Amino acid sequence: MFSKACEYGIRAVLFIAQQSKKDLRPNITEIAKAVNSPEPFTAKVCQQLAREGIILSKKGPNGGFYLEKDSTVKLADIVTVIDGDKIFTGCSLGLPECSSERPCPVHDQFMGVRDGLKHMCENTFVMDLASNLEEGETFLKL
């Protein structure tokens, strides 16, 4: 459903959030290893997320990526930065003019899926998901 870049970005941000709760700032190598993604690709995605203010970065010996503990970043923020909002607004078949008045063959069925995904992403805070990771209720890799 999400692009590979977006999947890696979500996993990276979740790991960064989990580490931020412990006052740690992981570097690209640590992030890539923790979320099982290629290091150069992870670097590119993290740089994009940092440019857009989704994650923060600090240079130097104690540097790395982090989120503020009171961060209000939501999954939708990450998805929109990496993949845009087309997954929340676009046609499932990629048609440029799909609407209720002029629907594609799967328009009506896809609307519920799309709206449900949008609702979930707009109402899911990264720091809440990081808490689930910290408590061992969820995992970023097997």
Class of CATH domain 4-134: mainly alpha
* Domain locations along the chain: 4-134
Cα–Cα distance for residue pair 19/24, rounded to 1 Å: 5
- Rounded to two decimals, the pTM is 0.92
Q: Give per-residue pLDDT as tens, 41-96.
A: 999 999 999 999 999 999 988 899 999 999 999 999 999 999 999 999 889 898 98
CA dihedral sign of residues 45, 34, 7, 84:
negative
